[in-house]
Amino acid sequence: MATIDCFDKTVRDVNTKLRDFVSGGKNDIHIINPESLHNLAVAITKAANITIDGSVGYYCAGMIDGPTIRINGSAGWGLAESMLSGTVRVNGSAGNGAAAAIRDGTVIIEADAAARLGVSMKGGLVLVGGNCGYMAGFMGQKGTLIVCGDVGAGFADSMYETVCFVGGEIAELGTDAIIEKPTEDEYSYLSRTLTLHLPTKMEAPGFAIDRFKKVISGRKLWNFDNQDWETWREAM
Amino acid sequence: MSNEQDINQRLLQQSSTFNSQVIDDIQSKAELGRYRMRGYGTLRQRTWATFDDLTFIPSTLTRIPLEGYRERCKTKTILGSRYAKKPIELEIPIMITGMSWGALSFNAKVALAKGAAKVGSSNTTGDGGMLPAERENSKVLIYEVLPSRYGINVHDLLSADGIELTIGQGAKPGTGGLLLGSKVRESIAGQRDLPIGVDQRSPARHPDFLGPDDMRIKIEELREATDWKVPIFVKMGASRVFDDVRLAAKAGADVIVVDGMEGGTAASPEIMQEHTGTPTLAAVCEARAALEDIGLYGDVQLIIAGGIRNGVDAAKAIALGADAIYIGTTALIGLNCNKPIYTEDYHKLGTEPYHCHHCHTGGCPVGITTQDPELMKRLDIAEGAERISNLLLAMTYEIQMLARACGKANIHNLDPDDMRALSLEASMICGVPLVGTNKVFSDGPGWKSKIGK
């Protein structure tokens, strides 16, 4: 395993070394003492297993395509933003805009996510073990967003085709968001996904897969309708 | 009584408050049940100070002109020298601004790329990501990172010669893009990860940062992603220009793009185009003053956009402090926008050549702002590219002509003292003397180097 010690290094130093390792074919890379540096491991475009021991700042794993990145700590804003593929797992919590605008890949936040989780997501899977803040899923275009706990106000506002599942309470639905009961296939998908990525959730006392609600777009904001004043007065 | 002869001409007086345009606006909204949308930018009578309120004062006895057709007048333009390892080098200072594939047709995007490349200039992607054909046909391509992040792709970003972090645009600062359902066809919907036929409303804010402190980190992310090789631009609609430019410069931008109120768009609420923003003339003055205020004028390059029509407007903007100029609507007009051809199709849209601002409909009669394959065929890529390269060169020659007449061997040596104001307002805004007075009225935009004092 290759190791990079961030102590006393700039993010430039760390990212340069990381890219050297990845392009040199090293598959297992361990980053220690990240000290909440911003912009760690951005734009990594090859497969590699990268473990970061400690909390990270803004935009960690932003714009990646392919690597598997595990953060043993918490993450600042914009975790994995705009990723194309790969997996990012945080065993703590994540700040605002986690998984913003991702096009594919998987983002797993074991604890809580702050506001605007998965905003403008265009594909992929976002999975939160705990709760999330307001405006999660805002303008979500495609992909799947799963929150095992409670979600804040304005949930799933103005979405296109993102499909959301919530295991806890929804403080308030966003404009044009509607609740549906998941199908049996969707319950099976949720069980498989949680078993794969967050198995301890499935084993937790009182956990029940049938508590999950499905939230999707009501599609009333897709095209303007001057007869639908109730919906559009919130959106125009 | 409907007989024309029975109309009393003396009583035919239109209200200046409720004139025909206002009546049409009210009745349209009563029909639509929403605000009006259209393309093109402001249609208002320009009662504010513009570049037309300035005149060059070429060399006579106090200065020596250069020979107009003999002596060299350099036009090379360098952008991004502050931090980028590879600043952008352009042969000319006129660049093509960001316009999306979606708003524009494939043929228009490729023609712009080819035309700009031919004369050593650049073009910019737009809200919808990068077209492979755009990269293949560009010499210098700037990749826009917009609030919507439609089509965001790290590989495209890494292939770009510059990155433009777009905060807003001059035609509609403070709002996101619009692409009405008629233009969201299969290919555009696929590129943007949207359902076919939706009225696409882009976000007004970036999904992962809010203010300038966060933006500083975002800019660093883009630099880290690109190994600090390419310049990072920050583009904004002209609003509180003095403060916004200082914030963008302090956040680490290499290049700041200020897009004035006269800037164009393919679709926007009409009121945003008509009643928001700072005019381009005032914007360039405030932007320069801002960079001077923080000691970064010259270190951070300034690109001015918004209704620049010709080399004269461009030369005046450069004299006031711009390093380069973006054109959008002017480039589209160069591609035949509003040309009196296919007149019957203008009529289908309810308009006429020279009056068309129906980019939002997708029915562009000349194949520019459309996704209709039949209409698109009307814009031949090779011919379009030739027109763009001709236009860019012609504008550059105009700038050179004015610079030589003012005794400048480099267009970037044009300065405010090469001009005089034709109106009191222009003198106050630009800080250049009013003709016939040799006085600057007010302190201008607050430049450190006062002109005429």
Search chain B and give the residue with CA nearest A219: B198
Q: Measure CB to CB from residue A139 to each of B181, B197, B203 and give the nearest one.
A: B203
A204 CA: distance to closest CA in chain B (Å): 32
The CATH T-level fold of domain B51-414 is TIM Barrel (3.20.20)
Domain count, chain A: 1
In the 3-class helix/strand/coil scheme, how is chain A assigned residue by residue?
Answer: CEEEECCCCCHHHHHHHHHHHHHCCCCEEEEECCCCCCCCCCCCCCCCEEEEECCECCCCCCCCEEEEEEEECCECCCCCCCCCEEEEEECCCECCCCCCCCCCCEEEECCCECCCCCCCCEEEEEEECCCECCCCCCCCCEEEEEECCCECCCECCCCCCCEEEECCCECCECCCEEEECCCHHHHHHHHHHHHHHCHHHHHCCCCCHHHCEEEEECCCCCCCCCCCHHHHHHHC
Task: Give average pLDDT by consecutive 10-residue segment, chain A, 236 residues.
Answer: 96 98 96 97 98 98 98 98 98 98 98 98 98 97 98 97 98 96 97 96 90 96 82 71
In-domain check, residue A210: yes
Which one of B193, B201, B230, B360 would you mutate to disrupt binding with A, by most A Cβ within 10 Å of its Cβ?
A: B193
In-domain check, residue A182: yes
In-domain check, residue A2: no
Q: How confident is the model at residue B449 (pLDDT cuts 50, 70, 90)?
A: low
Collect all residues with Cβ–Cβ distance below 8 Å to B440 and sequence separation of at least 6. B427, B431, B432, B433, B434, B450, B451, B452, B453
Q: Where are the domains of chain B?
A: 51-414
B273 and B42 in contact (C-beta within 8 Å)? yes
Amino acid B4: pLDDT: 60
For residues B409 and B413, give the distance between their C-alpha atoms in angstroms, rounded to a whole number: 8
What one-character-per-residue DSSP string does B424-449 give? HHHHHHH--PBTTTTB--S-TT--SS
A211 CA: distance to closest CA in chain B (Å): 30
What one-character-per-residue DSSP string does B126-141 give? -TT---HHHHHH-SEE
For residues A12 and A39, give the distance between their C-alpha atoms in angstroms, rounded to a whole number: 9
Amino acid A229: pLDDT: 76
B66 and B409 in contact (C-beta within 8 Å)? yes
Q: Measure CB to CB from residue B208 to each of A12, A77, A139 and give the nearest one.
A: A77
pLDDT digits over B359-388, tens only? Answer: 999 999 999 999 999 999 999 999 999 999
Token pair 């036009």 in the structure block, residue:
B75
In-domain check, residue A180: yes
Tell me if chain A has a CB within 8 Å of the CB of B24. Answer: no
Token pair 């890494």 in the structure block, residue:
B158
Q: Structural domain of residue A197, as residue ranges? A: 93-235
Closest CA to A121 of A152, A142, A95: A142
CA angle B231, B234, B237 (to 5 degrees): 150
Search chain B and give the residue with CA nearest A43: B225
pLDDT digits over B58-77, tens only? Answer: 999 988 999 887 899 999 99
10 Å CB burial of residue B79 (0-12, 13-18, 19+) is buried
pLDDT digits over B2-21, tens only? Answer: 556 678 877 888 999 999 99
